[in-house]
C-alpha cells in the first residue's frame, strides 16, 4: 500500500478513553505522520489512553483540556473521533479553512483495495457481520472481521491483512459512515440490516440518521452489490437515494417476483434473480432457527446468507455452516445456566427496541404465576433522545413490578416516567440503583427470600437488557457487559 501520510501533519481530534483514538494515533505514527492529538479532556482524565500509546506517545504533540484554532491552520489532515459532535465549532472552523476532514472509516476506504463486505443498521449488524465471516470461512482460508469494537479498531485491521485478496467484513456505525462518501473506494457488498429510532442525541431527525447510513452505498459502482431489508419501513428512503449498485433484498415473507433477493415462505427459503425463483433451504431448518432466534434472528440470517452468496460463497457451503453459527458476545448471550437460574447478558441492547425483542422472546403468560413471574429484567442507562412508550407498555405487560431492577441514568429517568404514566408502580417505588454490583447483590438476596423450597420453583430467567447507552457509568456496552458477567458469575453460581 502507498504511504500517503509520511511527513504529513495530522491533527487527531479526540483521543478518547475507549481505544479508537489510541489505535488511530498509533497508526498515523507508524505511517510516519507528524501527529498532534487534541482533546477537551485533561491529561489526568486520559492517563490510561496515553499509556496505551506506548512508545508512540514520544512522537505525538498533545494539546489537552482545549482545542486551538492555530492547530487547524498548521495541520494538513483533521481526523475526527466518534465522540466529537458534527456541529462542533472546531470542526466548522476546519471546514471553513478547507481542511481535509476524515475518520478511521474514511481512511480505511481510501487505502484498502481488498474485497469488502460492509454491514450497518440499527440492530443486528454485529450478529450479521460475524455470521457473514462464518460463511466466508467456508471458502477462504483467511478472513478479517471487525471495525466497530474496541477489541478490533478499524485502522488496526489494515496491518492485519495477510494479502490483498483477503476478504474483509466490516461492521460500521452511522458516525463512521458520515465521511466515507469522500473516500476512493466503496464496499463490494453493502448491507443495511434495518433502521429503528436510535442516536437522536447525535442526529437532528430520523431522516438525518438514515441518510448517514445511506453513505454506505453512495460511492458504490453498478458492479457492486447492495442488500436491503424489504420489510423495514425506511428502505423506501434508501431507494429514493437512487443507489447505482445492483440491489437485492431479504425478507421474512415472500418477495414480489420483480425484486431480486432472499425470502421465506411456508416451503422454506427461496432465492430469486431476474424472475427465476429457486428453493435453497427447506422449511424445517428455518422453523427451528426461528424458534431459537425469533423473527429478528431470521432476518439476520437471511442478510448474512445473501451477502455471503453475493460475495462468492455457494449456497451449499452456506447451508452446511448454518448449524455452527454462534451468537456474538453480549447479545442475548446466556452466560450462566443451572437448575435455579438462567442469566442472559444482553448489554449490547442500547435502545428500547432491542430490549423489546429480548423480552418478547422470553416472556411467558401475561396472567397467572407462570414463567412471567420468573422473568427478571435489569434495565437503564444513558439517554439517546429516544422514546420509551412502547418499552413501558411491554414491561407492564410482561414484567412484574418486583422483577424490574433499574440502574440509574438519564434514560432510566425517562423509563420511570413512561411506566408511571401507565400506573405501573402503583404505590411502590422503583427499585433504582446507582451501582451494578449493589443491584445484583440486592437481586440475589431478594431471590433467596422468594425461593423457599427451590424444588417447587421454575428456573428464574435474569435478563440484563439495558435498552439504553452506557456512558454515564461504563466506558461502553462491552465494558458494561464484561462487568455484568463477572458479578453474575460471582453471585449466581449456586
Q: For 105-324, CATH number?
A: 3.40.1190.10
User: How many Cβ atoms are within 10 Å of 404's Cβ, its own excluded?
Assistant: 21
The grid cell for 370 is: 407462570
Q: How far apart are CA 347 and CA 343, in angstroms?
A: 12
| Beta strands at 333-337 and 261-265: parallel, antiparallel or unpaired | unpaired
CATH number given to 333-491? 3.90.190.20
Q: Phi, psi at residue 19, to the nearest 5°?
A: 110, -25
Q: Which three cell numbers stand for residue 253?
A: 415473507
422 Cβ contact partners less than 8 Å away, ≥ 6 residues apart = 392, 393, 396
The residue among 109, 298, 80 whose CA lies nearest residue 220 is 109
Handedness of CA 88, 89, 95, 99 (dihedral sign): negative
- Please tell me the pTM assigned to this model: 0.87
What is the chain's pLDDT, residue by residue, as a tens digit (494 residues)?
Answer: 456 889 999 999 999 887 778 989 999 999 999 999 999 999 999 999 999 999 999 999 999 999 999 998 899 999 998 878 888 888 889 889 899 999 999 999 999 999 999 999 999 999 999 999 999 999 999 999 987 766 677 888 888 898 999 999 999 999 999 999 889 999 999 999 999 999 888 899 999 999 999 999 999 999 999 999 999 999 999 999 999 999 999 999 999 999 999 999 999 999 999 999 999 999 998 988 888 888 899 999 999 999 999 999 999 999 999 999 988 889 999 999 988 889 999 999 999 999 998 998 887 544 333 445 689 999 999 999 999 999 999 999 999 999 999 999 999 999 999 999 999 998 899 999 999 999 999 999 998 887 654 444 568 899 999 999 998 899 889 899 999 999 999 998 76
Q: List residues bridging with 78 in a β-sheet.
A: 11, 101
Specify the pLDDT at position 451: 65
Q: In this structure, which CATH number among 3.40.50.720, 3.30.930.10, 2.40.30.20, 3.40.50.300 belongs to the domain 9-101?
A: 3.40.50.720
pLDDT of amino acid 144: 93
Quick check: 487 and 367 in contact, CB under 8 A? no
The full set of domain ranges for the chain reads: 9-101, 105-324, 333-491
Cβ atoms 93, 71 nearer than 8 A? no
Name the residue among 270, 266, 295 with its Cα closest to residue 283. Answer: 266
- The whole-number pLDDT of residue 369 equals 37
Residues in the chain: 494
**250 and 309 Cβ atoms separated by less than 8 Å:** no
Q: Are 221 and 244 in contact (CB under 8 A)?
A: yes
Amino acid at each position: 500500500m502507498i504511504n500517503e501520510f509520511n511527513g504529513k501533519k495530522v491533527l487527531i481530534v479526540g483521543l478518547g478513553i475507549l481505544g479508537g483514538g489510541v489505535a488511530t494515533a498509533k497508526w498515523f505514527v507508524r505511517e510516519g505522520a507528524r501527529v498532534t492529538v487534541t482533546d477537551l479532556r485533561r491529561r489526568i482524565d486520559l492517563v490510561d489512553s496515553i499509556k496505551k500509546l506506548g512508545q508512540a506517545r514520544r512522537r505525538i504533540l498533545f494539546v489537552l483540556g482545549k482545542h486551538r484554532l492555530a492547530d487547524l491552520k498548521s495541520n494538513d489532515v483533521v481526523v475526527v473521533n466518534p465522540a466529537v459532535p458534527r456541529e462542533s465549532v472546531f470542526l466548522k472552523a476546519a471546514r471553513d479553512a478547507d481542511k481535509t476532514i476524515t475518520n478511521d472509516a474514511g481512511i480505511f476506504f481510501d487505502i484498502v483495495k481488498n474485497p469488502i463486505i460492509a454491514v450497518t443498521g440499527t440492530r443486528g449488524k454485529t450478529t450479521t457481520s460475524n455470521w457473514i465471516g462464518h460463511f466466508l470461512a467456508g471458502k477462504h482460508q483467511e478472513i478479517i472481521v471487525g471495525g466497530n469494537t474496541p477489541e478490533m479498531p478499524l485502522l488496526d485491521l489494515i496491518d492485519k491483512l495477510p494479502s490483498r485478496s483477503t476478504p474483509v467484513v466490516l461492521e460500521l456505525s452511522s458516525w463512521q459512515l458520515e465521511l466515507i462518501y469522500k473516500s476512493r473506494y466503496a464496499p463490494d457488498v453493502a448491507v443495511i440490516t434495518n433502521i429503528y429510532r436510535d442516536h437522536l442525541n447525535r442526529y437532528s431527525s430520523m431522516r438525518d440518521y438514515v441518510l448517514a447510513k445511506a453513505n454506505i452505498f453512495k460511492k458504490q459502482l453498478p458492479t457492486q452489490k447492495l442488500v436491503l431489508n424489504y420489510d423495514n419501513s425506511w428502505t423506501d428512503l434508501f431507494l429514493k437515494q437512487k443507489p447505482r449498485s445492483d440491489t437485492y433484498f431479504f425478507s421474512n415473507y415472500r418477495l414480489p417476483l420483480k425484486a431480486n433477493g432472499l425470502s421465506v415462505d411456508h416451503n422454506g427459503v427461496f432465492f430469486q434473480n431476474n424472475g427465476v425463483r429457486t428453493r435453497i433451504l427447506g422449511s424445517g431448518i428455518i422453523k427451528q432457527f426461528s424458534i431459537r432466534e425469533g423473527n429478528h434472528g431470521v432476518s439476520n440470517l437471511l442478510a448474512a446468507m445473501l451477502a455471503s452468496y453475493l460475495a462468492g460463497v455457494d449456497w451449499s457451503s452456506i447451508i452446511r455452516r448454518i448449524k455452527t453459527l454462534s451468537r456474538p458476545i453480549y447479545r442475548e448471550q446466556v452466560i450462566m445456566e443451572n437448575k435455579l437460574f438462567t442469566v442472559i447478558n444482553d448489554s449490547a441492547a442500547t435502545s428500547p427496541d432491542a430490549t423489546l425483542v429480548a423480552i418478547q422472546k422470553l416472556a411467558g403468560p401475561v396472567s397467572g404465576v407462570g414463567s412471567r413471574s420468573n422473568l427478571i429484567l435489569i434495565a437503564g442507562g444513558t439517554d439517546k433522545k429516544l422514546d420509551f412508550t412502547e418499552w413501558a407498555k411491554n414491561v407492564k405487560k410482561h414484567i412484574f413490578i418486583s422483577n424490574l431492577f433499574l440502574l440509574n441514568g438519564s434514560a432510566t429517568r425517562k423509563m420511570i416516567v413512561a411506566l408511571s404514566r401507565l400506573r405501573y408502580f402503583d404505590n411502590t417505588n422503583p427499585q433504582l440503583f446507582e451501582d451494578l454490583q449493589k443491584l445484583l447483590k440486592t437481586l440475589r438476596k431478594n431471590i433467596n427470600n422468594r425461593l423457599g423450597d427451590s424444588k417447587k420453583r421454575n428456573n428464574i430467567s435474569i435478563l440484563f437488557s439495558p435498552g439504553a447507552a452506557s456512558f454515564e457509568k461504563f466506558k461502553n456496552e462491552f465494558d458494561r457487559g464484561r462487568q455484568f458477567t463477572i458479578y453474575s458469575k460471582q453471585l449466581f453460581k449456586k
